[in-house]
Structure 1
Amino acid sequence: MTTPLFPGGVAVSGLKVYDWEAADGRCGGSPHLHTASSEGYIVTGGSGEVHTVSSAGRGIHPLAPGEIVWFSPGTVHRLVNHGDLELVVVMQNAGLPEAGDAVLTFPAAVLDDPVAYATAAALPEGDDVTRAEAARARRDLAMRGYLQLLDDLEARGDAALADLHARAARLVQPKAAHWQRLWRETVGAETDRTRDQLERLAEGMPGLLAEASVARGERTPGPRGFGMCGRLQTWRWPESSAEGD
């Protein structure tokens, strides 16, 4: 091991949740789900809620400084901002979410058309005003599909969420082989490293201890980016020595 991954192979970002009002009168971000990665929120400022749809049904989870909430893949989640809501976001499987692990809750016709989905999900190059308008339009389209999902849940129960999961799986299927390789070369390699080190320690050997090292993530320059749920502060992480092509 030369350059260590962030502990657990996770990614960390800072999030200021959008305060844009949506069709239902609440302010916040774009509803979406992750197809392979769990996500966690550590609330650092302001107040709000995260609304979820999962195998347990619909839920509303209050958010205030010091609160920690996390959820597994397939959970539809929507951040609602009651005022100045800020979070530290911890994402499992660093690299997979950045490679398209998330699926926005666009209407079914968009989810069933990969080209239409890619067009609706992309943000154009340009100044902050242009990108903010596009991010808000993307949020509004995701809200349209989300509100349709809630109506469908009332009418058909769990089958509505199962249909969304099926559409999401079909949409990301072409990316899965790349994700498998990326995971093996990063998080999988880190897991193997820990297993091997435990075996060395069980033998009374120091193993990797002689290779101890320190890494620092550099703050991404420029203004915060436009994420699905708000303005994102990200960091440039050192590349792992296990990372391939």
Structure 2
Amino acid sequence: MTAQQAPAFFPGAVALTRLGVYDWEAADGVCGGSPHMHTASTEAYLVLSGKGTVETIRQSGYESYDLAPNDLLWFSPGTIHRLVNEDNLEILVVMQNSGLPEAGDAVLTFDPGIMASPERYAEAASLAGGPSSSLPEAARARRDAAMAGYQRIKEAALAGRHDVVEQFQRDAVRLVQSRVPAWQALWDETIAPEAARTETWLKELAAGGFSHFADAAVVRAEAAGPERAFGMCGRLQKWEPGRQA
């Protein structure tokens, strides 16, 4: 890797996002983001400030975890999760497989009727198509629609009805299944090489070599924009691909 080939994206095939969790009150009387599940990526939360909880639902049932500054928590694919903002909750999100969540790895907990139709799901999940001034309303409406389905799943999980949880997971897989070949291509091109690069370095180091040191580089990334975007769980601050510093 030459200086011109310095890695443009954050190391380790992960993505970093600063998240200010929505303070919009939901139908159950608490504030928070849109419940969803990742199908192929592990997600981590490092709490920067504020206070809240993350509710999780797996096939094993429902659990809630307190979140306070310096708490670090992560969960693997298949975990339905919902962030609750109790007091200005700010989080640094570390997401595995950078690019896959943006390609549709995350599935919102909409009602079964929406989950049954790829077209209806795409329409419900999208914030596109309206003027920028409507984005907060669109994001809130999407959150509320996800909450409607989530409440049904949560009630079933609390009652020990794991079949409802499994049905949502089955519906989620059906929604993303056609995208997996594109995900595989993305993984082959951008994610797998990260591990392969480290393997090459280890082999060289074991032989006493260090030619990769000649390509050492420092990379700086700039904020993606002056304002945070509207995401599933809150206002997002992302970073552009880096450039050599």
Normalised TM-score (structure 2): 0.93
Residues 222 and 128 of structure 1: is their aligned pair in 2 closer, same or farther, counting only changes over 3 Å? farther
Residue number among 42, 47, 53 corresponding to 1:49 in the alignment = 53
Rounded Cα–Cα distance in structure 1 between residues aligned with 2:130 and 2:136: 10
* Other structure's SS at 1:69 match: strand
Residue number among 215, 218, 221 corresponding to 1:214 in the alignment = 218
What's 1:72 paired with?
76
215-224 or 166-175, larger mean C-alpha shift:
215-224
Unaligned runs of at least 5 residues, structure 2: none
1:67-115 deviation line (CA, Å, top 9, x unaligned)? 1111001100000000111001110000111111100000011111000
What's 2:44 paired with?
40
Question: Displacement of 1:57 after TM fit?
Answer: 1.8
Residue number among 1, 23, 26 corresponding to 2:27 in the alignment = 23
Question: Displacement of 1:126 after TM fit?
Answer: 4.8
* Other structure's SS at 2:88 match: strand
* Other structure's SS at 1:27 match: coil
Contact between 1:16 and 1:87, CA under 8 Å: does it hold in 2?
Answer: yes
What's 1:236 paired with?
240
Question: Displacement of 1:125 after TM fit?
Answer: 4.7
* Other structure's SS at 2:102 match: helix
Question: Displacement of 1:9 after TM fit?
Answer: 1.1
Counterpart code for 1:70 = W
Rounded Cα–Cα distance in structure 1 between residues aligned with 2:75 and 2:109: 17
* Other structure's SS at 1:221 match: coil
Residues 126 and 222 of structure 1: is their aligned pair in 2 closer, same or farther, counting only changes over 3 Å? farther
Q: Does 1:58 align with 2:62?
A: yes
Counterpart code for 1:75 = T
Unaligned runs of at least 5 residues, structure 1: 240-245
Counterpart code for 1:3 = A
* Other structure's SS at 2:220 match: coil
Counterpart code for 2:206 = A
* Other structure's SS at 1:219 match: coil
Contact between 1:153 and 1:160, CA under 8 Å: does it hold in 2?
Answer: yes
Rounded Cα–Cα distance in structure 1 between residues aligned with 2:120 and 2:6: 39
Q: How does 1:177-192 map to 2 (within 5 A)?
A: 177-192=181-196
Contact between 1:125 and 1:131, CA under 8 Å: does it hold in 2?
Answer: no
Rounded Cα–Cα distance in structure 2 between residues aligned with 1:170 and 1:61: 29
Q: Does 1:3 align with 2:13?
A: no
Q: How many residues align?
A: 239
1:209-243 deviation line (CA, Å, top 9, x unaligned)? 2111121111012321000000001111249xxxx
Rounded Cα–Cα distance in structure 2 between residues aligned with 1:111 and 1:156: 22
Q: Does 1:164 align with 2:168?
A: yes
* Other structure's SS at 1:235 match: coil
Q: Does 1:104 align with 2:108?
A: yes
* Other structure's SS at 1:116 match: helix
Question: Displacement of 1:152 after TM fit?
Answer: 2.7
Contact between 1:201 and 1:207, CA under 8 Å: does it hold in 2?
Answer: no
Identical-residue share of aligned pairs (%)? 51
Normalised TM-score (structure 1): 0.93
What's 1:242 paired with?
none
Residue number among 116, 122, 126 corresponding to 1:118 in the alignment = 122
Residue number among 56, 61, 81 corresponding to 2:85 in the alignment = 81
Counterpart code for 1:37 = S
Residues 57 and 156 of structure 1: is their aligned pair in 2 closer, same or farther, counting only changes over 3 Å? closer
